[in-house]
Amino acid sequence: MRHVISVHDFSVEEIVDVLDRAEDMVAIARGETTSDLLRGRVLACIFFEPSTRTRLSFETAMNRLGGGVIGFAGTQATSVVKGETLADTIRMVSGYADAVVLRHPREGAAKLATEFSGVPIVNAGDGAGQHPTQTLLDLFTIRTEMGRLEGLTISLVGDLRYGRTVHSLAIALSKFGNTINLVSPEGLEMPGEVTSELMAKGMLGKACHSPEEVISDTDILYATRIQKERFPDPVEYERVAGMYRVDPDLLSRGPEGLIVMHPLPRVNEITPEVDGMPQAKYFEQAFNGVPVRMALLSMVIGGK
Amino acid sequence: MPEKMMKVQRIEHGTVIDHILPGRAFDILKVLGIVNDRSMSILINSHSKKGGKKDILKIEDVELSADEASRVALISPQATINIIVGGKVVKKFNAEAPKVVRGILTCSNPNCISNQNEPITSEFRLGPDDGHRYVCTYCERDIIDLAKRIRW
């Protein structure tokens, strides 16, 4: 039984295998062709936290493969409000479904779930911890847009301290041999353990506080949301957020072929004028969640 | 006090834990679950012949098992353990830090699922480097201030 808990559990070969399978799923994900690979199978999507893209793309993935979906989003109408443990919820739900997709506000929740589940667990984000399917869809987007996963310069921009997607992505990209620039406001820098790992592998490029410093040498600009609640002073937030805004002016100084990615939701990090530019790939990125999650579901449920 | 007089009497039977990191003797008692009903001597910040300071524990009528010795190493990796029988050292060894620690520690990450009301046992693994750091199996974070994370 294969669980999907952390991208650290995937070797380079396994990552490439998932991306290859996802490529085969694109036509089905777009509805250009149909599949009944998982017909008669049931996926439980249990989301203890809000989610738009992750939940909907898992549900779409399962439906596109001919399977059914049960689950909940938010705990108000569930036994959790009566004090049920996650362990008991998992024991019960795993009896109803062939795999469980779990999002939970506590770090390590997905790992716990594997101990009480009789079916595969797929981690859809646990607190500030892991979000492996996001990392895999980011890698799929990079390979689709750039034609390769190695020899690229990726600038991670924004809140690198609390943004869970950038931690996993940085480590995953370092497995393939890339230069990774870290651009964040003071106080929101990448955690030391990630920076140390990048340095040890010789993959760390520049670590700085301004996108201007790296834009001319960037193949992929990966923007993340800077959360207002991290700043006690709203004026300071506006000042910092303004410095990290991706707009046509900034992109005009980037090399040809540069792409912009973002895990979404965005607030003000990318101005709407960028949406129509050829560099903007974040909506394709959101779509790519479907074929990548189809690939994973076919592997963990279908045994393919 | 004559110069050569020992500060603490030798013990006839039991365990002497020597070369404990200074100030950690009480943490070791805690991790061993040894309470006040034992006869014992505790030396804090004693001068070490090797230079610097150390703590020493002399616990009467207790022979530490290998598992208990590894708990000592969890707190003080350099500690030496002497088993005393009939007033003589019959066994002396350095404790080995455990690769996996279950149940003794709590995770320092308050948002870790292992700190919630779930039917699981906390688990930490020794990191692959030489840094004597333990990583939570659940949240994958390093435990911070390990001695403060011991459950009573």
* DSSP-derived pairing of the beta strands A179-183 and A153-157: parallel
Residues A172-206 pLDDT 10s: 999 999 999 999 998 889 988 789 889 999 999 99
Region A257-273: what's the mean pLDDT? 94
**Taking CB atoms and an 8 Å cutoff, what residues of chain A touch B135?**
none
CATH number at residue A29: 3.40.50.1370
In a domain, A214, yes or no: yes
CB contact under 8 A, B141 and A87: no
Is residue B144 less than 8 Å (CB to CB) from chain A? no
From the candidates A103, A104, A225, A266, which is the catalytic residue? Answer: A103
Nearest-CA distance from B142 to chain A in Å?
10
DSSP string covering A119-153, please?
S-EEEEEETTS--HHHHHHHHHHHHHHHS-SSS-E
pLDDT of residue A280 exceeding 70, the answer is yes
Compare CB distances from A115 to B120, B139, B142 and report the shortest one's residue. B120
A121 and A214 belong to one structural domain: no
Catalytic, out of A131, A175, A225, A281: A131
Q: Per residue in B23-40, pLDDT tens? A: 999 999 988 888 777 889
**What pLDDT shows up at residue A303?**
61
**Smallest Cβ distance to A106: which of B116, B119, B140?**
B116
Shared domain check, A249 and A198: yes
Residues A181 and A261 occupy one common structural domain: yes
User: Letter for the amino acid at A30?
Assistant: R
Specify whether A235 is located in the same domain as A121. no
Residue B3 pLDDT level (bands cut at 50, 70, 90): low
Q: Are the beta carbons of B119 and A126 separated by less than 8 Å? A: no
| Mean pLDDT value of segment A283-293 | 97
pLDDT at A30 over 60: yes
What ipTM was estimated for this complex?
A: 0.86
Our CA-based measurement puts residue B138 at a distance from the nearest CA of chain A, in whole angstroms, of 4
The highest-confidence range among A218-232, A282-296, B4-18, by mean pLDDT, is A282-296
Q: Residue B72: how many CB atoms within 10 A of its CB?
A: 26
Q: Token digits for A253?
A: 């100084």
Q: How far apart are CA A124 and CA A132, in angstroms?
A: 7
Residue of A nearest to B142 (CA): A193
Task: Give pTM, 2 decimals.
Answer: 0.88
Residues A238 and A163 in one domain: yes
pLDDT tens for B43-92 read 999 988 877 899 999 999 999 988 889 889 999 988 999 999 999 999 99
Model pLDDT, residue A173? 96
Q: Whose structure tokens read 């919630």?
A: B116
For A157, the domain range is 132-285
pLDDT tens profile B4-27? 666 678 899 999 999 999 999 999
The per-residue pLDDT of chain A, averaged, comes to: 93
Q: pLDDT band for position A111 (50/70/90)?
A: very high
Q: Are residues A56 and A190 in the same domain?
A: no
A85 to chain B: nearest residue by CA? Answer: B118
Q: How far apart are the first and last CA of chain B?
A: 38
